[in-house]
Amino acid sequence: CPNDNGVHRYLGQHDNECRDDGLNQEEILDLFYNETHGDEWNDATYAWEIGEPACERKGVQCNGNGAVTNITLPSLGLRGPIIPELSYLTRLRTLDLRHNELTGFLPSDLRFINLENLDIRGTRLSGVVPPLLCIKEQVNGNGVGPQDVDFNRIYSCDNFACPRGTYSSIGRAIIPQGADDPGVECAPCFDSDAALYLGSDKCTDVTIAGMQLRKEDIMQDAVKSISALVLVAGVVGYALAKVKGRRRAVLDGNCRDGKDEHEGIILSTPARRLSDDSSFDDEDSDDSYERSGNSFGSPRLLQRWISPTTRSPLDDGDDWTASDSVGDRGRRQAQELREFSRSRSVLPDVI
């Protein structure tokens, strides 16, 4: 195809595809606009009219001869592929499509034009930078650098876009320009976006003690750890509550046992005192206590006064002894009661 301006670059093209003038700029831009859903771009002021002169479209710049040299359309919500037909814009020097929803692959055909600046950071392009494009000089400074710089950094696909699984603040590498210039390198990143797409310019990974970890993994581990701590705290709290409950029950039981024992002593000792002669009657008892100067009256009254809530066995006339309830201890206490009854001053002190 003569005079096709480089349009027919590939084997197997048909004769009827030959065109003397090739694709014009407006047709290429119209195709790009349609493929990237131009009617849905975020800024309506960038809306292009089909057939509109290329140099009059917002985001497009031309040289003095009317050839497109610059396409700058950042953060406009472009969706779809970067069409290879852009490589027919032979004077194109800058292609800035950063922070859009572009998908697909970076076209290798861009190597046919003399690009100087390519910015595809923050997009959703996948795959790799085409190897034939990686050896293209001048694009983002690729192939240009001091002699003492590593050759693998001078000619590198990273100078076009950081590969998947890496990132930098500008989405690509920069070649060092001197001994004091470290340049920019693409660093490892394990978050979801960086793992899938070219040209990542941010990373949500977190570095802890020199270890780079995914933020998502840290969040999941944190949730699991907090859940485990809550569960352990619940188990410990339940165990402590059980221990306290048992301790309180033991203390309450001891208190009840002490009270019962004390009441048993009081109940048993008068009866033992009053049944020393193996017989009992109210009249002898009253005389005995009156002779001892006891002002509390009869043994029955004394028994009821000592333990008013307990029915005295004396009321039934039974021969009830301390040994029937408390054994030897009751006998000792009965002996103490006999000694106490001989003294008028003892009973008030006990009470």
Q: Can you read off the two tokens belonging to residue 93? A: 């020097």
Supply the pLDDT for residue 192: 80
| pLDDT score at 244 | 80
Instruction: Give the phi and the psi of residue 49 in degrees, each rounded to 5.
Output: -90, 135
Residue 225: partners with Cβ closer than 8 Å, 6 or more residues away: none
- Is residue 119 classed as helix, strand or coil in its secondary structure? strand
Pairing of strands 187-188, 117-119: unpaired
Segment 146-149 long-range contacts (CB within 8 Å, at least 24 positions apart) = 146/176, 146/177, 146/178, 148/179, 149/175, 149/176
Write out pLDDT tens, residues 66-102: 999 999 999 999 999 999 999 999 999 999 999 999 9
344: number of Cβ within 10 Å? 11
Quote the CA–CA distance of 31 and 42 in Å, as a whole number. 19
pLDDT at position 341 is 64
pLDDT of residue 171: 95
- Alpha-carbon distance of 73 to 53, in angstroms, equals 17
What SS3 state is found at 79? strand
**pLDDT for residue 213:** 57
* Cα(307)–Cα(315) distance, integer angstroms: 13
- pLDDT, residue 265, reads 47
Residues lower than pLDDT 70 in the chain: 1-22, 205-222, 252-330, 339-351
Residues 6 and 39: beta-carbon distance below 8 Å? no
Do 317 and 305 form a contact (C-beta atoms < 8 A)? no
* pLDDT score, position 249: 76
Reduced to 3 states (helix: H, G, I; strand: E, B; else coil), residue 253 is helix
Q: Which helix (H) or strand (E) holds 309?
A: none
Burial class (CB in 10 A: 0-12, 13-18, 19+), 256: exposed
pTM: 0.59
Residue 246: predicted pLDDT: 80
pLDDT at 69: 97
Give me the DSSP letters along 264-304: HHHHHHHHHHHTTTS---HHHHHHHHHHTT-TT-SHHHHHH
Instruction: Locate 321 and state its tokens.
Output: 């002894």
Q: Tell me, what's the pLDDT at 240? A: 83
CA distances from 50 to 31, 56, 60, 305, 328 (A): 9, 12, 14, 116, 120
For residue 71, give the nearest of 100, 38, 95, 106 by alpha carbon.
95
Note the pLDDT of residue 84: 94
